[in-house]
Structure 1
Amino acid sequence: MEYILNNSVSAVETIFTTINKVLKGFFKSWVLARQYQANYYAAEKLVNTNDYKDLSLQDIVVKLNNATSK
């Protein structure tokens, strides 16, 4: 009986650990996607400034996204 109980606890722990990892991955991806969206909006504001006058909108977005992912 103890062997069955230990296996049941182990199975439940494995299930919860897997669910936890999946949710953490989903949450991190969601946060990163939101940040990339914010970077795009920021790049739209920066595209006509003197500091970024030689860069296109896409170049600024790439620059911001690279800084975000570090």
Structure 2
Amino acid sequence: MCIERDSGARGVDAFLNLRILPAVPRELLARMATGAAPAEIRLSGSPADGLVIDFVEPDAARRDTRAAADLTT
């Protein structure tokens, strides 16, 4: 994650290009080749887990949407 004091726009750009962009297309293409394209791709991070890229299956995305709607009513 970008927690260094000296990280600016170039640091963020390098992080995205070196860590995120190689992983996402590789996993996405592998899943699409088997007919299991994800409904969503979620990027999150924490000090404990580091960077996490979640490929959310279509059924799970629908459940998450319904759960969020239930919380707002």
Fold conserved between structures, TM > 0.5: no
Range of TM-score over shorter length: 0.3 to 0.5
Higher relative contact order (CA 8 A, sep 6+): 1
Higher percent of residues as helix: 1
TM-score, normalising length from structure 2? 0.36
Higher percent of residues as strand: 2
Bigger Rg over Cα = 1
